[in-house]
Structure 1
Amino acid sequence: MNATAEIIKKKIESFHPELLETLVKVVERLETRNRPAIPSFHRDEILYRIQFHNEYPHTKLDFYENISELEKLYA
């Protein structure tokens, strides 16, 4: 791991200043990007539905119909 970090460090040190500035901006965006946590009751509900469907495969796995609603909430 240290060898890989050293290789990356040497490559970064050789970057043109403009490229280095762009890299810094990209890394800052990655660091500050917050994804909202999915509430545990949503995860529990999905897990319950999958388990139920595994026990009773003839049932309809309906959470796919609700995925667009989840995407809107957590986009």
Structure 2
Amino acid sequence: MKKIILSSAFVIALGFSLTSCRETEKKTDEPSVIVIEKKADDTPKKTEGTLEKAGRAIDNAAKEVKEAGKAVDKAAKEVVGDDN
């Protein structure tokens, strides 16, 4: 029993001696923050016109779908005939 208590005390003392209570310097992430801010400032310039391009793409897709619908209607009328 005496050996267990002394061994435990030794392990605890060793643990305390290996860990430090001193305050360590915290490294700031200022360089990365500055980079992020610069990238955020550049983002509007790089994305300028993106919404307009997306809108044009949607309009073009809508026109193509409309034309495809007309082609399907025309083909259906040819198959069935106009006597409905």
Q: Is TM (by shorter chain) over 0.5? A: no
Q: Greater RCO between the two (CA within 8 Å, min separation 6)?
A: 1
TM-score between the two structures when normalised by the length of structure 2: 0.34
Which structure has greater helix proportion?
A: 2
Bigger Rg over Cα: 2
